[in-house]
A and B are shown apart, each in its own frame.
Chain A
Amino acid sequence: MNTIEKNLFDIRYMDTLASKNTSLHRLDPRAKLITTLMFIAMVVSLGKYEISRMIPFIIYPMVMIISAELPFLYLLKKMILVAPFAILIGIFNPLMDTTPLVHLGSVSITGGWISFFSIMMRFSLTVSAALILISMTGFNGVCMALEKMGVPQPFVVQLMFLYRYLFVLIEEGAKMLRARSLRSFDSKGLGFKYFISLLGQLLLQTLDRAQRIHLAMCCRGFDGHIPINRPMKFGYKEIRFVLIWSFIFILTRSYNLPVKIGEIIAGIL
């Protein structure tokens, strides 16, 4: 039960993060969305046994976290919370793929471990990119970017509605749960029978609420679409942001920078 309110708190906290006013927050959401998608595609397109080429990609989340003044530890904690699935599937790689690939002195590292670390790096990079996007843009910003980029309006409106009522309904659900746990002793009443009437009641309330909302919207002239009136400008700054990061991503994607640096160092020595 605790987790419900915690989730709610999380969403609200990320909203507060999105309301900061740094140069990155002020960028057009479209620029940030495009860059994030490109970053994820570039990271994911790397081969299964790549680790070294993935390292330079850390620069993007890092620069974003620092310049947008995002709390690093908080984002890290959120990432660790969702790690189990990637670990669960990834951990089979060391077990299945036992061909040694690297020899460091007498120690040999199997391909499985390398691909496992590669999966974990992919995981951290892609997840952090998504979390950074939302905490420096805000959900409504992302929705508006989606609409401007041609996503059908019913879907965008649906997303915004969902987000608006998420808080209301989670709070309602949490209230119900609290009431149930206060009245249940020795885990009585936590079974299927009461669960269904609890859920059914919540659903009925939800439907009523939807009807009230619809009536209220009709009174205000709702005709099936929600006009979004916020000027968005894809100007010089946005173009510069997208171009610079694209250049960095393509550079790190096509050249193995760590190896190049290592070679230069080896050459000097």
Chain B
Amino acid sequence: MHMADALLSPAVGGTMWAATAGLIVYCSKKVREDLDEKKIPLMGVIGAFIFAAQMINFTIPATGSSGHLGGAMILAILLGPYAAFLTMASVLTVQALFFADGGLLALGCNIVNMGFFPCFICYPLIYKTIVKGRLTPKWITTGAIISAIIGLQLGAFSVVLETFFSGISALPFSHFLLLMQPIHLAIGIVEGLTTAAVVIFIWKSRPEILQPSISVVQGPGPDQEYSIKKVFIGFAAAAIIVGCGLSWFASAHPDGLEWAISKTTGMEELGAPQKNLYSSLTAIQEKTAFLPDYGFKTTKENPITDTKKAWPAVDSGTSVSGLVGGLLTLCLAIFIGFIIKRKKTGQTA
């Protein structure tokens, strides 16, 4: 489920980072304004609880696999959307830094995929609508399962979209979608069941814990709606601004959005035969051209390239000089490392 840096283009990663940053600023403001400061230690300790909970698992009968609690939905139910979003963001940050789950650039994507959808879409729009303050096992279970499934489906869909727009993976959109959605349907059911069961357990043993967040939820109805709307507007605005700002980046290099689209559309017809000629031509040409702009090279190319527009320019490293140079660079890098190491041991000795 974690999106990885390796599959991400800077335009997509940057856009999601901006969206996440905006949401964090907004939620921090909200938490500071709305909630008593009692929530601050509570958020921190519950974030740590999510880690512990993800490590405790149960066996799923007849499958041989095991399941565990996912996190975001239970956080939203216990803390309300703003505090839950901040908590989920902090959990994902720790995961990115210590366990290298995802990565730093992909952190924005992961926070949106696993924090934004459950906290700001599933919780207010689905869970609250279904439960409506009727805290009975039946409604809690229905609400938790449906919202967990939808949350994970949205998250998985978002991973597919991010991968698709980044254009690093060659996996076609529909294939990836078919790979991701069913897996996350199963995960969603397990997550929904565990969330519902834990919430019911808490409701039965200590109902007052759920009460405050319920009152926050039910309290100022129109105000709540309004603030959710503000989150949406802020999210969209940040995404658009950064998307536009970064679009030069995307269009200047072939790993951007347009390239990804043209690639997936032109993919099937690419098996054409002139590729040998083409690649040897570009290989020769790559030796003379060194500017990083791919478009520059292809415009200089003769008509053969016109039939091959969807082709990304061949990496110059494919030519022999690239291979030799690559090996040499590697040796040089290791040599520099060796020198530093020698120098260091010389200092300590």
Contact = CB atoms under 8 A, between A and B. Distances in A.
A211 B333 CA distance: 53
Task: Give the interface size bracket for A toward B.
Answer: 35 or more
Classify chain B: how many residues form its interface, as a range: 35 or more
A100 interface: yes
Contact of A52 (B94, B294, B322): B322
A130 interface: yes
A191 interface: yes
Given A45-B253, A259-B286, A166 B329 contact: no
A223 B37 CA distance: 7
B236 interface: no
Given A82-B99, A162-B48, A192-B197, A44 B59 contact: no
Contact of B58 (A47, A120, A131, A195): A195
Contact of B294 (A47, A56, A130, A177): A47
A206 B330 contact: no
A122 B56 contact: no
B169 A89 contact: yes
Interface in B327-349: 327-330, 332-334, 336-337, 340-341, 344
Contacts of B25: 152
A162 B194 contact: no
B315 interface: yes
B56 to A, nearest CB: 6
Interface in A219-257: 222-224, 253-257
Contacts of B294: 47
A78 interface: yes
A130 B271 CA distance: 39
A97 B271 CA distance: 9
B346 to A, nearest CB: 13
Contacts of A255: 290, 292
A194 B47 CA distance: 22
B56 A206 contact: no
A86 B37 contact: no
Contacts, number: 386
Interface string B11-42: 00110000000001101110110000110111
> Which of the listed residues A36, A45, A211 has the most CB atoms from chain B within 10 Å of its own CB?
A45
A262 B325 contact: yes
B59 A166 contact: no
Given A122-B6, A173-B55, A159 B104 contact: no
Contacts of A192: 58, 193-194, 197
- Judged by DSSP, the binding face of B is helix
A262 B48 CA distance: 51
B318 A86 contact: no
B165 to A, nearest CB: 13
Nearest to B36: A224
A29 interface: no
A100 B326 CA distance: 20
B27 to A, nearest CB: 8
A200 B322 contact: no
Contact of A66 (B29, B168, B341): B341
Interface in A99-133: 99-104, 109, 111-112, 114-115, 118-120, 122-123, 126-127, 129-131, 133
Interface string A78-105: 1101100110011011001111111110
A10 B98 contact: yes
B322 A130 contact: no
B55 A63 contact: no
B103 A177 contact: no
A130 B104 contact: yes
B41 A213 contact: yes
B286 to A, nearest CB: 7
B169 A92 contact: yes
Contacts of A168: 48
B90 A158 contact: yes
Interface in B256-277: 267, 270-271, 275-276
A262 B42 contact: no
B218 interface: no
Interface stretch (B129-137, B138-146, B201-209): B201-209
Contact of A258 (B9, B163, B169, B328): B328
B45 A4 contact: no
A196 B201 contact: yes
Contacts of B73: none
B20 to A, nearest CB: 11
Interface string B292-304: 1010000000000
Contacts of B55: 3-4, 7, 170, 173-174, 177
A183 interface: no
Contacts of A159: 90, 93-94
B317 A196 contact: no
For the complex of A and B, the 3 pairs showing the least CB-CB separation, nearest first, are A161-B44, A52-B317, A262-B325
Given A168-B48, A256-B292, A262-B328, 11 more contacts: A50-B315, A114-B315, A118-B315, A154-B31, A155-B24, A161-B40, A161-B48, A206-B49, A224-B32, A258-B326, A262-B320
22 contacts: A47-B312, A48-B255, A58-B333, A62-B333, A85-B4, A86-B6, A99-B270, A118-B315, A123-B5, A126-B103, A133-B97, A161-B44, A162-B44, A164-B44, A176-B56, A191-B58, A191-B61, A192-B193, A213-B41, A255-B292, A261-B324, A263-B321
